[in-house]
Amino acid sequence: MKMNSSLDIPIQLEDVDEIHFVVDTLVEEAVKQGSIEPAVTYLVGLRKSLELSGKALARFLYKLGVNWELFKESESEKFTNYIYSIIGFAPHTTERYVKVAYLLDTAPDKVKDKLENMSIGHLIPVANAVYQEYQITDENWDDITKAANDAEVREIVRDIKGEEPRKHGLRLWIDDNGSLWAFRGQDERYFFGSLEIKDESSVVQKAIKRVISKANIMEEK
């Protein structure tokens, strides 16, 4: 049963209407100017706000969990179950957020800022490795902070753990010539297309970066 809480505040209709008004106004202004810049500036800020909100949520859960036994609610309920009753996060989701916050709190100072700029999705495999007390070297940290997407991060973490790729897991790679390869396990390799990586057009380069990032394609080192 969902418990009432001062933290459980629904979005008011007038708040939604205000957001719609701001978005519609910015897009209309961009159309009038014939430039997307006025809208994109707000969009970038909104995206950063979402990332910051995720990190703030992770830290909230981490700090509440660390101090859970000091609250009267802990006498009758497990922390992850309580959080589920408040915000609907499944226990494993809360645990992931807590591990990410722990990672950001305990990572070496020289990489903390770079980790803070990575997405929650990028950080989860690293956070699990740290929680499991695997040794992460300076070289590992450097590779992690330079990873282009989640797939590269997972590959680095597998190397740290000494794990083989999953037997039936599908991995995507792009080589130095722009050829795209799909891998199953260790041995099976399939060519499935190519990208024009030698085209110097800024539009093409941006498109390639987006494809690589969104499709979790790993780049040949």
Task: Kindly list the domain boundaries of the chain, sorted by start residue.
Answer: 1-89, 107-163, 167-221
Model pLDDT, residue 11: 44
**What phi and psi, each to the nearest 5 degrees, are found at residue 77?**
-150, 145
Nearest to 150 by CA among 108, 128, 187, 119: 119
- pTM value is 0.62
Report CA-CA distances (Å) from 69 to 19, 58, 66: 39, 19, 8
- CA 189 centroid distance within chain: 28
Model pLDDT, residue 38: 79
Token output for 17: 């209407």
* Beta carbons of 7 and 60 less than 8 angstroms apart: no
Order of strands across the sheet that contains 179-184? 188-194, 179-184, 170-174, 217-219
Q: Which class is domain 167-221?
A: alpha beta
pLDDT tens sequence for the chain (221 residues): 333 333 344 445 457 778 888 888 888 988 998 888 878 888 888 877 877 888 999 999 999 999 999 999 999 999 999 999 988 889 999 999 999 999 999 999 999 999 998 888 889 999 999 988 898 999 999 999 988 777 788 889 988 888 765 555 667 777 778 888 787 665 677 788 888 888 888 888 888 877 877 676 776 55
Instruction: Identify any residues that bridge with 183 across adjacent strands, giving them in sequence order.
Output: 171, 189
